[in-house]
Chains A and B, each alone.
Chain A
Amino acid sequence: MLLLLAVLHFGLRPWLGNGRFAPDFLLLALLVYAIGERPGRAVIAGFLVGLLSDSLRPVAFGSAMLAYAVVGYLGAWGKAVFFAENPVVAAAFFFGGVVVRDVLVLLWGGTGDPAGLAWQLGLWTPLQGLATAVTGLMVLYVFRRWLSLRLSG
């Protein structure tokens, strides 16, 4: 399933219109992985996803590694703290992952001016967060047996 999400990231996203708010399947794969894993493994997975992301966009090399590692770590802990089998909580979980990722990449990368930062975090990040959350819920629903989830309404 994780490989499928990675393939979708590169194969389906170009068809989903504006890349600024198309769902981020790589982040989704990381968060779904983090749901079922210990924080230690999730942080390593996040670091690797960040390495891939940084290699694609070497604007501020290292910023995505840090951001995805933190997201993976928080995601694994968040699963233990917030019971992510409720759809609303799961959606908030995916939305929060996108927000935390973008905040860390932009602030740690230091590439944006204040106005650009405001536009990204005020408009595009929430939109991508929403798209990723909706897609994440669909993924959880489709793969609920594989993930041993009981999504309650």
Chain B
Amino acid sequence: MVSERFASRWDTLAFVACVGLALVARALPERVQEAVAAGVRRTLLAPFLQVERQTSWLRAAYRESEAFLAERDSAALRAIRVEGLAEENRRLRELLALRTRLPDAGVSAVVLRQATPTRGLTVLLSKGTRDGIRPLSPVLSPRGLLGVVRSVDPTTSVAVLWTHPDFRVSAMTPDGSVFGMVRPRGGNPDTMTMLLEGVPYRDTIPPGTPLLTSGFGGVYPRGIPIGTVVAVLEEQAGLARSYVVRAAAHPGSTNHVIVLVRRLTDASAAYGPEEGL
């Protein structure tokens, strides 16, 4: 009876201690939190992340082998019918062109998937400082801007996606005539929508207009596709307008990304006029 009571008291004590530690962890400065998380990733999680990295590569290789076989077949067909060349060219460019147009500015990384409900806000990438990735390195997909690196380990890095409430990027229209600030709209991430805010009332942006990064702020190079204007959301009488923007890059369907490791001022050459917009 006594030992049962002692065990029960010990259970309660363990519960209180763990909850207390969790509260302390939540209240720690972000810098300390990042240090603890990085330490765990480098030690306890390292073998598991290696398993996931290998699995992701295996999965990618499996998918690419299917694509390779399809491309081989289509190449045989192309030998007979050259008109298929244009379509093949388009698909290959989407897969490879971004990497080749940023020859020494970007490294490719695999998106490692996790189970927690905050997965739509950040992603763990398979490359880190050993590949030149640093905090605030822009993360791109073939369709456009996906996010920005927040913290980096030697072999992995954590990127904040455009769906994160803290994400902001300065945007402009392709002709550079209208500027504004883009942030996530919230709600169901599958709606793929952002908000363009701070557009002067005198400027109007017609639906269907692509938005690109403006290069202001020094984090994102100019000319990366962000999304397409869908509609006006609200007007602050005589002051400014807000627009709904359909995002160019979908975090949920992105398995591979390019991380810019060298500072560029203009990345518009990497995205042709047809890229994702």
Interface residues of A (CB under 8 A from B): 6-7, 9-15, 18-20, 22, 24-27, 38-41, 43-44, 46-47, 50-66, 69-70, 73, 76, 102, 105-106, 108-109, 111-113, 115-116, 119-120, 124-125, 128
Q: A43-B18, A62-B22, A70-B19 are in contact. Are A13 and B117 (CB under 8 A)?
A: no
- Which single member of A10, A22, A56, A62 contacts B116 (CB below 8 Å)? A56
Question: Which label, helix, strand, loop or mixed, suits the secondary structure of the B interface?
Answer: helix
Taking CB atoms, residues of chain A closer than 8 Å to B38 are 55
Q: A7-B51, A19-B113 are in contact. Are A58 and B34 (CB under 8 A)?
A: yes
A136 to chain B, nearest CB (A): 14
**Measured between alpha carbons, how far is A26 from B48 in the docked complex, in Å?**
12
**Measured between alpha carbons, how far is A13 from B115 in the docked complex, in Å?**
9
Does the CB pair B113–A61 fall under 8 Å? Answer: no
Taking CB atoms, residues of chain B closer than 8 Å to A112 are 117
Q: A18-B252, A111-B118 are in contact. Are A58 and B19 (CB under 8 A)?
A: no
Interface string of B25-43 (1 = CB under 8 A from A): 1111010011011101100
B269 to chain A, nearest CB (A): 33
Of the A-B pairs whose beta carbons lie under 8 Å apart in the complex, a sample of 14, sorted by A's number, is: A10-B52, A10-B55, A18-B252, A27-B115, A40-B7, A40-B12, A40-B13, A46-B18, A58-B34, A58-B122, A62-B23, A62-B26, A105-B118, A113-B186
**Measured between alpha carbons, how far is A52 from B115 in the docked complex, in Å?**
12
Interface residues of B (CB under 8 A from A): 7, 10-15, 18-19, 21-28, 30, 33-34, 36-38, 40-41, 44-45, 48-49, 51-52, 54-56, 59, 112-122, 124, 150-151, 158, 164-165, 186-190, 252
Taking CB atoms, residues of chain A closer than 8 Å to B30 are 61
- Listed from nearest, the 6 A-B pairs whose CB atoms lie closest are A62-B26, A62-B25, A115-B187, A66-B22, A40-B11, A55-B40
